Every structure is written in structure tokens, then in C-alpha cells.
Amino acid sequence: MDSRTATPDSALAHPPSDFIDGRFVQLRGGSAAIVARDPADPQRVTWTGEPVLSHVDDAVASARSALRSWSGRPLEARVAILRRWQEVTAAHAERIAAQVCDEMGKTIAECRFEARALAEKVDITLDRISFSRVSDYELAVGATRSGACRFRPHGVLAVLGPFNFPAHLPNGHFVPALILGNTVVLKPSEKTPGTGQLLAELMHEAGIPAGVFNVVQGGAESAARLVAHDDIDGILFTGSWPVGRRILAANLDRPGRIVALEMGGNNPAVVMPTANLRQAAIECVRSAFATTGQRCTCTRRLIVHRAVADRFVPLVLKAASTLLVGPGRSGTPIFMGPVATAAAAEATLRFQSDLAAAGGRVLLESTRVRPPEAPEGHFVTAGIVEVPGFSRDRDEELFGPILQVAVVDSIDEAIAQAGATRFGLAASLFSADDGEWEAFFAGVRAGCVNRNTGTAGASSKLPFGGLGLSGNHRPAAAFSVDYCAHPVASMVERGAEAAVPAGMQWDDRWLGSA
């Protein structure tokens, strides 16, 4: 295969490796090697290495061995190391952004935003509002009896990261996990292995003790081995529903194992007659096509009231048709980079064709595009298809830049169409009517329900997660501390006497003969 290897200015300091027990274990090439490529230049190989299944066992054993020492450290000592992580990631933000851009393909501006978020997660985790939910407390439960609630780490946590935010989203899991005393085994997406390795290199630079943080590379086989491993205590996953389902199936006989799933979405945005149409058009286009449609919060279904459809839909078409597509490192400002793989580009165009075959009308056609500076990249333009309506029977999450549009006649119909999905991650309403907002908020089941702003983009200072096929009531972001520790209740009797319960006889003289 005629492929260029990683360029000399690679962000990585080590050859392709796993990180186990504080050491980088180099991975050789082979017939089963993972080959990560730059989506803007697929001939350029950014990382390649053959996973070693036994490394999963080694990493779990390392994390288990380090658990007692790490969890036994005072909270302040663990926080100090994560503060060092904060400093290291801030210092290397440009290096992180470059690695993400080369592997995932999104714009360098988006990659820089992601890189900055790593350091911010430490402060968000330790924020008084968030951390108070896992702070120990005591109270009186009787005249001489006190009660206490103390929080303990789960133990060894497996973190499975996605390709679309390969640094930020795993970081959102493992920072609170480590602060609360857990040890971690991270398996990055096989599409972005270099970013996972870079996280290990930076964690090593931050001084994490051996075994506390481990990284193992691999695809589905490695993931399956990790999530079904007998010696882990929890799984923190970001990815698709089909993979989340397999994780649940592998753990049906382990009800005590924490499983936090953040999965996809088929997110609606509703535009009503009182909406600011300029604001709504900009936000809907931004949310539909941010990260080339490869965010779980992207708007995929646009629901427009008939009274404004003739004015609003043309605005969306015009704005979407202006989106600049090109390589993430383009010298000119671009909005969309390539999709991550050739298969994703093909799936985008096939999805558009399937919608048209089912009665949809293509208003803006998504097509392949070949920028002069990157003619072989996986580039597709934004596509918009008008459909008769939405139903659970056709409820597919496409990770690509296709927006479906349907027209309704009332807020009630809009709410019904918004709810015609098995997912429940994000939803938005554009309306100046408070009554419509209250009806929408009450009628739409989603973990993130916005008003006059798009579905894509969330505040890390709030909970982030969904319902239905989007999640299992384990929201991340500001609430990630909740799934990284469990409460233990204790009652302590301080009095000298114990009351004899009704139905029991007691004679203190028995003490002398005992």
C-alpha cells in the first residue's frame, strides 16, 4: 500500500504504544494493525499499530494493583496531580489540537476549542455546586446515634472514548474518576488512537503514579474484552447505541457494576411563528452542520410551523449553501472539514438517496467535493431534504451533514413530531411565546431542552446526557461526579445502653456467664 507515514512534526513523543503501569509498550505493525489516516488526506497515515489483546488484562491488573494506594491518598493529594494535568494540557493545547485535527479532520478552530476544554474540566469537577453531591456529611439520627454518608470510588473504571471528541469526552470521564479515587483503563476509538496515546503522554508528564491511568489501543475485540472483564468495576462509555447495547448485554449478570452510557441523538429543532427568524436560521444551520454533522447533539430534524415555512426554509437553504468545506488546517476560515472516513461519506449520500426514495424532496443536495489542496479527502457538502413527517419507524441517527425538514400546523403537532424518536438527547424550540416554551419543555423528553439556541453545543457546567437510546440516566459534564463514586451509609451509637426490643428477653446477669 502506497501510504505516507506520520509527518516529522507529529504531536506524539513515542512510537505507537499502549501505556500500562507507567510505561509505554510499543505496538508493532502487522496484518491486524489499526491504521489511522488523516481524513483530509487519506494517503497520510497518522498512527499504526497492532493491538495486543493480553494488554487489556495487563492494564486492568495494573489499575487494580494501583487502586488501594491511589484511593487511600488524601483528596488534596489526588487533586494536586490533576492540577498538574490541568497545567500540562493547557501548555500543550496546540499540540492536542493538531493531533485531533490530523486524526479526526474537523476544523483547527474546533480542535483548539476541544483542547482548551481539557484543563477546564478540573475546575468544573471541583466546583462547589458539582462536588457537593459527593461530599461526605453527618447528621443526628437519634438522641445518642449519629449517621454519616461517605462516598467511595467504584474501583477500576473502563473508559471508552469516541472519535468525534477524542480528547475532551474521555477527559470528561476520567478527570472526575481519578479525583474521586478510581483508577482508569482508557480505550480510545480505533479512528483516533494517536489522540489516546497523546493523553497518556501528557498524563505521564503530569506525574500520574504508575497504574493509575492506563491506555490500551484496539477495535471491537479489545473493547469487548475490556467491558466484560471480571476485574473492572464500571464502564464509562461515549458512542453509538448499537455499541452501548452490546455493553449492556455483556453486563446483564453484573448489576453492581456502574455503566454510564452517553450515546447518540436524532435531535429536533422547532421553529414557531414568533421566532426571530434570523436567529433561528443561523442557529439551526450551525447546529445541523457543526463538526460536519458528527456531533451527537447535531440538529437532524427541523420542524417548522407552516405560517413561517415559506420564509424560514429559504433562509436555512441559503445559509447552508454558503458553508465553506475544506481541510481542517486550511488557510482560510472554513465551517466543515471532512467526515472521518470514506464509509461515512458514502453513508451520508446513501442516506440522502434513501430519504428521496421514501418520498422526500432534496432541497439542497449533499455532494462530494474535492478542494484543490486536498482532492482525496472525505469531503461532502451540507444536504437538506424535505420529508412528509417523522416517525419512530424511520428513526436513524446519521453521523453526517444531512438535515431533514418537516412542516407542521400547531405547537401540539410540533411537539408530537419532535417526540417521534427513540432517542432523547437534545431538543430546541425557537419561539417568543412563553406558553409554547412551557408546553414544549413539558412535552418533549430529552436530557437537554433549549430555547432560542441550537441543539449542538452544551455547557460543561450543566448535566449532559439523554434518555431512551441516548443514555441511561447517567448524565456527564457537571454531573459526571455522580457516576464516579457511590454513597455508603453508616450509623454510630454513642450511648452506653441498648434498648431491648419488644419480643426479646434480656438479663444482664448473662454477661457474667458469657
Residue pointed to by grid coordinates 494488554: 55
Element (H, E) at 171: helix 168-179
Select which of 101, 296, 448, 484 is catalytic: 296
Cell of 314: 429559504
* Pairing relationship of beta strands 145-153 and 156-160 according to DSSP bridges: unpaired
Q: Which residue has the cell 476485574?
A: 231
Distance CA 481, CA 483 (A): 6
Give the residues across from 130 on adjacent strands: none
**Backbone phi, psi, residue 380, to 5°:** -135, 150
Q: Are strands 267-271 and 145-153 parallel, antiparallel or unpaired?
A: unpaired
CA 196 to chain centre: 14
Tell me whether strands 361-364 and 383-386 are parallel, antiparallel or unpaired.
antiparallel
Q: What DSSP state is assigned to residue 262?
A: E
Residue carrying the nine cell digits 479527502: 377
Centroid of chain to Cα 472? 13
- How far from 479 is each of 25, 123, 131, CA to CA, in Å? 34, 13, 9
DSSP state of 56: H
Cell of 480: 459526571
Do residues 179 and 82 touch, judged by C-beta distance below 8 A? Answer: yes
Q: How far apart are CA 443 and CA 411, in angstroms?
A: 10
Rounded to the nearest 5°, which phi and psi values hold at 361? -120, 120
| 262 carries an active-site annotation | yes
Q: Which residue in 262, 386, 397, 436 is the catalytic one? A: 262
Cβ atoms of 392 and 356 closer than 8 Å: no
Active site residues: 262, 296
